[in-house]
Copies of this chain bind each other. A is one copy, B any other.
């Protein structure tokens, strides 16, 4: 990439979450300590559409080249603290079909003592995404954010099991929760996904998006349900970050259009699905190095064709 990316829109999108060094094993390849973390993937995907403000923490070992890559995407890193110590590390291995992954190692490192700090003016960010971190930190950011227009959050089994009270406080204050199917079942105690989504919506968020990996995502809200397919790609290299790219594409588009109606959200979810599909095509954030709006447009059109059928009458 030669120059800093200019996003389509101008409404700021704040994200708080992890910036990590990932070690990833697939059947074919192994990569050590590459750029990862939910906030990194989210920011890279959203950067096509909105000015992204990233809040996170890295250690003194975090390569400058990674910061430069994110900055080149146009991501504002004024909220990325660099503190003494080692960067958050994650290591995992995927099954042959990529539908299962085993976490081999997690080292919180500098993330352990992390407290989000908002640079001047960032408390006025109309769109906010609370990536998968301790609900205490999500609440902290929520308290600092001044009347955001739309807030979405992610979570995981760890917080559902061990920080449920704080998570419930977060849920009371967000517009949308994104989580995967097993997390939706765990949080709600319901096996059936529509029933699980109904139970979760009763906890606060008006809308729930259940992410199902290569089975796509389901968006549940007052007025019904929307199924966003995953794009069937033959060239999956590494699905790490696909869910965060999905969220990034989604929130970026929402910030760009400002349309938070169910109809606007549907389109945004397809943009998110497109970004998730690109993310899987290479390791780390590497696909984002060459990705451009033309390719995103083409995949959006391909999504329209993927689900198209004639609305016959009979």
Contacting residues, chain B, for A198 (C-beta < 8 A): 234
CB < 8 Å: which of B194, B227, B267 contacts A312?
Answer: B267
Q: Are B314 and A233 in contact (CB under 8 A)?
A: no
Q: Are B194 and A232 in contact (CB under 8 A)?
A: yes
Cα separation A195 to B218 with both chains bound (whole Å)? 25
Known: A309-B270, A311-B304. A229 touches B227 (CB 8 A): yes
Q: Are B194 and A267 in contact (CB under 8 A)?
A: no
Q: Are B306 and A225 in contact (CB under 8 A)?
A: yes
Contacting residues, chain B, for A314 (C-beta < 8 A): 8, 293, 297, 300
Quick one: closest B residue to A303, CB to CB? B309
Name A's interface SS. Answer: mixed
Q: For the complex formed, measure the closest distance between the CB of A278 and the CB atoms of chain B, giving whole angstroms.
A: 16
Interface size, chain A (Cβ < 8 Å): 46
A305 CB–B CB distance under 8 Å: yes
Cα separation A195 to B216 with both chains bound (whole Å)? 18
Q: Are B218 and A215 in contact (CB under 8 A)?
A: no
Cα separation A193 to B185 with both chains bound (whole Å)? 26
CB < 8 Å: which of B191, B194, B232, B309 contacts A225?
Answer: B232
